[in-house]
Amino acid sequence: MKRLRNSVVKWLVISLLCLLLGFFLGKFKQDILDEKLSVMAVDLHTIKIRNQRVETDLSRVQIISVSDQQTIKSLLQSNKQLQNELAIVNNKLYFYEGVISPELEKTGVKAHSFEMTENAKTGGWDYELVLMQSKKGRRFLSGNIDISLSIFEGENLKKVSLSALTETLEKSFKFKYFQTVQGSFVLPEGMMVDEVIVNLNVVGNRWYKAQRVEQLYDWRVLTTHDVGDASEYDSSDNSTTP
């Protein structure tokens, strides 16, 4: 009986020691976990601060980018306005030179006017291009016509031939005094146009030298009917090939 009592006491002591050991081991692990959690909390706070700084820097960059884009658009608009004003002056100068000194007027073809009208039935645009020959010469002129659109593609401009938008594009001319070129086209949805570009290429012969004329028309002027004659807002590049 005494031996049994000693065994029970021994097992109780061993059990208490195991419990104490387990308690201290658990507390030690808990302290380690608490320390790791504290370190992770500090790291998380640091990451949040860095993230806030990155977001602030990104916002500043976006603001600067938007400001730069607005500045570029404003400069482009101002440049286009100056080009239009210069074209008006050049056209008037060309007209008065022809009146005062007709002998100085160059022979060859000229895009006298270009008009556009929105077609409510088709949802497209009808255009009319009038070609004229200068007063000197008065012989038959022949050549090719190429009409293109300068469209916006993102922040850039892209040139698209009108032949890609219509199957009835007249591509040649032959006349002695004047010729009217008419046609129509439909713009794809979402396409934004900046300018209409008319290129005239005169075939050289015994009376005329080969000639290339490029005429630019502002789309907003062409499609706004209360701004006056659109021919005053065009700009041209007239070159002759010997």
Per-domain residue ranges of the chain: 34-105, 106-241
pLDDT of res. 228: 41
* Averaged pLDDT of the chain: 75
Q: Which fold has domain 106-241?
A: Immunoglobulin-like (2.60.40)
**pLDDT at residue 59 is higher than 90:** no
211-216, Cβ contacts within 8 angstroms, sequence gap of 24 or more: 211/108, 211/109, 211/143, 211/238, 211/239, 211/240, 211/241, 212/237, 212/238, 212/239, 212/240, 212/241, 213/108, 213/109, 213/110, 213/111, 213/237, 213/238, 213/239, 214/238, 215/111, 215/114, 216/87
User: Any idea which of 15-24, 29-38, 82-91, 160-169 has the lowest mean pLDDT?
Assistant: 82-91
Residue reference for tokens 């998380």? 44
Q: How far apart are CA 205 and CA 214, in angstroms?
A: 20
pTM: 0.53
**Tell me: the pLDDT tens digits for 183-229?**
999 998 888 999 999 999 988 777 777 888 898 999 988 887 544 44
Report CA-CA distances (Å) from 200 to 63, 101, 137, 203, 230.
45, 25, 18, 10, 18
Closest CA to 185 of 161, 204, 155: 161
Joined together, the tokens standing for residue 23 give 């308690």
Report CA-CA distances (Å) from 158 to 60, 77, 151, 155.
31, 17, 5, 10
**Tell me: the pLDDT tens digits for 14-31?**
777 777 676 667 666 676
